[in-house]
């Protein structure tokens, strides 16, 4: 597998679907690196992984403990993961000296890979080397996808507030005065005679003006209500559903072996997911 088909583990950390800070996942970046006889040789700066699975294929080791400035790629099978760091038990100073120096701005070419293979393989056959070099160590990294939800603001709508006139019928009771004619008649009991008066002569009339009140209607506007317009934020919970995947450990057991639970498996081949 060439570098073109691998990516740096640190690049996965920039991908929202991978959470490398989860304590249940092993991330070798920054771990101390030890060589033959347990000598500290430097630090694991990064790793090259398969982008589809996240499986580590190479450790990028800064061997500053042996050389002033050099970084090399060591196949994952040469590493032994421990809580205190990554141990390359068979890696010698002479091997590191002869290995190709890896630089981030250059590709890990086939020629460089062949050179490193010859240095690390020694007297091993090519088949034995490949079986060891890319064999995942006891602790491997399992990745899972998690939903990461970001929020952004957008214009959800607008509200326009104005005024309009609505009419209604209103009835008001108004007391009004008017004048009426009151006619009073009194009987004359002494029977006085009217001299010279002839009935029907000297016809007289009386005129009385009557007054009355009438309602004059006008309209006047009054303030009945004041309206203030503002905004406030309301929080509501929205359910977001998406399909995510996770890696599960695939354990292949062949022959008469025992699992960590202590159960003997006698079938020729048993495969289970953990």
Q: Which stretches does DSSP call E strand in 204-274?
A: 250-254, 257-258, 264-265, 269-273
The DSSP annotation for 154-175 comes to ----------------------
Residue 212 three-state SS: strand
Tell me the two tokens of residue 93: 């100073």
Query: Out of 2.120.10.30, 3.30.428.10, 3.90.50.10, 3.65.10.10, which CATH number does the structure's domain 3-148 have?
Result: 3.90.50.10
Question: Given this model, what pLDDT does residue 260 score?
Answer: 53
Q: Which stretches does DSSP call E strand in the chain?
A: 7-8, 32-34, 40-49, 56-62, 71-75, 80-82, 85-87, 250-254, 257-258, 264-265, 269-273
Whether 101 and 70 have beta carbons less than 8 Å apart is answered as: yes
Q: Given the DSSP bridges, would you call strands 85-87 and 32-34 parallel, antiparallel or unpaired?
A: parallel
Q: Mean pLDDT of residues grouped by 10 in the chain (274 residues)?
A: 69 58 65 90 88 82 79 88 87 86 81 87 77 64 77 89 90 92 86 71 80 90 90 89 81 64 38 36
Q: Which stretches does DSSP call E strand in 78-208?
A: 80-82, 85-87
Question: Which residue ranges make up each domain of the chain?
Answer: 3-148, 244-274
**φ, ψ at 151 (rounded to 5°):** -120, 145
Question: Given this model, what pLDDT does residue 262 score?
Answer: 38
Question: Given this model, what pLDDT does residue 82 score?
Answer: 83
């Amino acid at each position: 597998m060439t570098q073109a088909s691998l990516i740096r583990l640190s690049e996965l950390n920039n991908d929202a679907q991978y959470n490398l800070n989860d304590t249940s996942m092993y991330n070798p970046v920054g771990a101390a690196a030890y060589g033959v006889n347990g000598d500290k040789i430097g630090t694991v700066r990064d790793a090259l992984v398969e982008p589809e699975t996240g499986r580590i294929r190479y450790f990028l080791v800064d061997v500053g403990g042996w050389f002033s400035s050099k970084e090399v790629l060591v196949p994952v099978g040469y590493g032994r993961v421990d809580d205190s760091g990554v141990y390359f038990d068979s890696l010698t100073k002479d091997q590191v000296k002869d290995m190709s120096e890896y630089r981030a701005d250059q590709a890990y070419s086939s020629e460089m890979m062949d050179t490193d293979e010859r240095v690390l393989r020694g007297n091993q056959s090519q088949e034995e080397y490949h079986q060891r070099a890319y064999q995942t160590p006891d602790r491997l990294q399992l990745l899972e996808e998690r939903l990461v939800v970001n929020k952004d603001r957008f214009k959800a709508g607008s509200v326009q507030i104005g005024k309009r006139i609505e009419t209604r019928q209103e009835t008001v009771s108004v007391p009004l005065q008017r004048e009426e004619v009151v006619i009073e008649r009194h009987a004359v009991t002494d029977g006085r005679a009217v001299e010279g008066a002839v009935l029907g002569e000297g016809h007289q009339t009386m005129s009385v003006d009557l007054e009355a009140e009438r309602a004059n209607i006008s309209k006047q506007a009054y303030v009945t209500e004041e309206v203030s317009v503002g905004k406030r934020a309301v929080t509501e919970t929205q359910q977001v559903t998406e399909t995510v995947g996770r890696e599960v450990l695939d354990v292949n057991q062949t022959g008469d072996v025992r699992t960590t639970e202590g159960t003997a498996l006698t079938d020729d081949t048993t495969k289970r997911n953990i």
